[in-house]
Structure 1
Amino acid sequence: MTPIDSDRHLPRTLLDTLIRAGLITALVVSCYEVFHPFLSLMLWSVILAITLYPLHLLLRPHLGNSDSRAATLIVLVAMAVLLLPIYLLGASLGDSVEVAIDTVKSGSLRIPSPPDSVAGWPLIGESLHGFWEQASSDLTSLLQRLAPYIKDVTLVLLGKIAGAGAGFLVFIAALVIGAIIMAYGDNGHRSAQRIAARIIAPERSGHFVLLCTATIRAVAQGVIGIAFVQMLLLGIGFMVMGVPGAGLLAMGVLLLGIMQLPLPLITLPVIAFVFYSEGPTLAAIIFTIYTMLAGLVDNVLKPLLLGRGVDVPMPVVLIGALGGMLSGGIIGLFIGPVVLAVGYKLFWQWVDTPPVQIQESPSEGT
């Protein structure tokens, strides 16, 4: 090939490469735009499928080695377990709101006068004492004055509740899709290994898949699963004792459990309210013991569940929960810790992997 032909060939090759790269980029962006609305749903489905797949393998031999039967049974049992407590908590929340509205409308709500010592508190003492005094003497006019602010807060709370409801529906849909993924679990495992082999070295693809699987199961079972168990246990106790807003308090327990914050932020005020309203009765004492034991369940279950997977620092889980909630709402609260934990483990796996040493050929050394 002459130098002139070579000069003509290089720009043509570069132009072809740029056109192909541009077309591939446009295709990738278009696929992302189409798939983006379902990204959280599919992530949640994969997380559920990976977490529940050991149970699927355990049930399959007892159901005629049928993957579809095992997956269907898991979905039906999970829906039954989820729908009944959530219905009871939702009904409790609705009854609490109705009682609060009736109490305000009837005028039977009375707020005691503030102690004189409140006025001596630094910075906020005088303003708090005045506000408290007005609430105790003329609550109706105070509520009328605060009505615009109460309306804005109520709308925000209703929006959050609606978002939580939509998130629960997405969770149900993710559970169904996760069952379909479990039904094709063997093919999915082979596909994951093929993708890992294409991204990294083939000899490390198996370890890569096992690390991701172990991390997802550890976080999903050891953090999200335990938080859900504590929500059910404490929520049932709140409903039995007739605590106002039991459903909302149980949801707060779930959020604190996922974010790895101390549950006494909710349980101690509830126990104090029960003793204030019921007195030191036998029921109040039993409720206190039950609430304390339910709050300590994570100390027993967390070492068992997290010990089966990988060790993920709690700050990583906390940051993942907060960041996921800010970016993706209630669904992001669940997905965030799992995704960040997987990224954390893969990052340190990459750091601990020694670089490949390039050996010089004998001709290069001379």
Structure 2
Amino acid sequence: MNTNNQPNTELEQRLASRLLDVLIRAGLILALVALCFQIFSPFLTLMVWALILAITLYPMHQSLAAKMANKQGRAATVIVLLGIVLIVAPTTVLMSSLGDSIQQLVSNVQENSLQIPPPRDGVKEWPVVGKKVHAFWSQAHNDLPALVKSMQPKIGDIAKAALGFVASIGGGLLQFLASFIIAGIVMAFGEAGARGSGAIFDRIAGNKQGAEFAKLSTATVRAVAQGVIGVAFIQAIVVGLCLLLAGIPWAGVLAVIVLVLGIAQVPAVIVTLPAIIYIWSGGDYGNVEAIIYTVLLFVAGMADNVLKPLMLGRGVDAPMPVILLGALGGMAAAGILGMFVGATLLALGYQIFMGWVAMNPDAGASKQPEDSVTAD
């Protein structure tokens, strides 16, 4: 009886020892991963956006490098400099205008120098909320300090959040600039990066599915970055610069609204048409100036109709609510830069998940019996 139990006891001891070794190794690996993530997390949004930029601009980089005797670094430098001049610099101007507008509004509210125009009688006719909006608007017009005092806790929190956002604009712009520089470095070593990412996908999903997931990921990133975010971002910059040139108040805020509307595939004329009405009804513009600004804003508001075919915007397969939720969630988590990263990553996750669902090996087997029954 004892001789029979002895081998079982030794086997249990060996299994327990092996299991303990596995648990210790897994714990050490998890601890190492957690420490690495903690160290890398402050740069995570920046590096992800730089990688998205590199994937999106890589075909342009390769085309330019072919014209420069295959000088990868020189082509990457040219693209980075063009990005800084054409994208980073206008974005800096618009974000500066946005920060100035928010800071001026908060200052006017705190100093009780903000003037609210009276509401029109037609506001009462708005469905459901018309009377409440009219009463609140009238109170703000008649006695704004008393209204601010009655809402002081909420107003104080909003003011702190607004000033915090203004303070973070500078850091966001530096991140935006750094992302272009890092993207240029990634593009300069693009071939090695492509081999490395392909090896990672193969290790995770296998040789066949890994290659398909890698192609799907690249196509999704480029489609979303070019066709949705790229079009919306370029149009927001163009509209914002036209608003600044025309002297429209809150040009930076309106540019951000155009950006969000563009990601949601809503026409920018929702913003540009009221601006055109303001130009003609304000009385501060001459006829020639008003005509010039009207043409500029009208063309800028319709620019997406030209940009989408040029930037292959029709190739985006992810549902628009997925992209919009990713953009809004990313902006709430990581600011303006997070808007671009969130939209791209959520669309990428959706596409990879749906691609995984479509690769179900049991789907064809389950259909074969049905087909044979139908044939019989």
Quickly name the TM-score band, shorter chain normalised: 0.7 to 0.9
Give runs of aligned pairs for residues 95-244 of structure 1, distance below 5 A.
123-124=131-132, 127-128=135-136, 130-131=138-139, 134=142, 153-244=158-249
Contact 1:118-1:128 within 8 A present in 2 as well:
no
SS at match of 2:165: helix
1:276 counterpart residue number: 281
Name the counterpart of 2:373: none
Q: What amino acid is the match of 2:331?
A: M
Per-residue deviation, 1:325: 1.6
Normalised by the length of structure 1, the TM-score is: 0.82
**Count of paired positions:** 353
Tell me by how many angstroms 1:71 deviates.
1.2
Are residues 1:20 and 2:25 paired? yes
1:227 CA drift (Å): 1.4
Change (3 A) 1:257 1:17: same
What corresponds to 2:51 in structure 1?
A: 46
| Conservation of the 8 A alpha-carbon contact between 1:224 and 1:334 | yes
Question: For the Cα contact (< 8 Å) 2:273–2:298, is it kept in 1?
Answer: no
Report deviation, 1:327: 2.2
Task: Note the residue ranges of structure 2 that are not aligned, 5 or more in a row.
Answer: 1-5, 366-376
Identity of matched residues, %:
44
Q: Distance in 2 between matches of 1:146 and 1:296?
A: 43
Within 1, Cα distance between the matches of 2:104 and 2:31?
57
Aligned to 2:353: 347
Q: Does 1:298 align with 2:277?
A: no
Distance, in Å, in 2 between the alignment partners of 1:78 and 1:294 is 20
* Cα deviation code 1:196-220 (max 9, x no counterpart): 1101120232222111111101111
- Cα separation, partners in 2 of 1:277 and 1:151, compared to 1, 3 Å: farther
How far the C-alpha of 1:343 sits from its partner, in A, is 0.8
Q: Which residue of 2 aligns with 1:311?
A: 317
Q: What is the distance in 2 between the residues matched to 1:7 and 1:118?
A: 80
Query: Is the CA contact (8 Å cut-off) linking 1:259 and 1:321 kept in structure 2?
Result: no
Amino acid of the structure 1 residue aligned with 2:257 = G
Contact 1:120 1:126 in 2 (8 A): no
* In 2: Cα distance, 1:249 partner to 1:42 partner: 28
CA deviations over 1:117-154 (Å, ceiling 9, x no partner): 8789863377347526626xxx7x66986896766544
Q: Give the 3 Å change call, closer, same or farther, for CA 304–125 of structure 1 in structure 2.
A: closer
In structure 2, relative to structure 1, the CA distance for the partners of 1:116 and 1:313 (3 Å cut) is closer
Post-superposition offset of 1:291: 2.2
Change (3 A) 1:165 1:222: farther
* Paired residue type of 1:74: I
Shift of 1:109: 8.9
C-alpha offsets along residues 219-272 of structure 1, whole Å, 9 cap, x if unaligned?
Answer: 111112111221222122212221122233223322332344443442233222
Measured after TM superposition, the shift of residue 167 of structure 1 is 1.7
Q: CA offsets per residue over residues 7-38 of structure 1, 9 Å max, x none? A: 33222222222222222222222222222222
Task: Say which SS state the counterpart of residue 28 (structure 1) adopts.
Answer: helix
Q: Which consecutive residues of structure 1, in runs of 5 or more, have no partner in the other structure?
A: 359-366
Counterpart amino acid of 1:63? M
Q: Say whether the 8 Å CA contact 1:119–1:129 is kept in structure 2.
A: no
Q: 1: distance between equivalents of 2:121 and 2:263?
A: 41
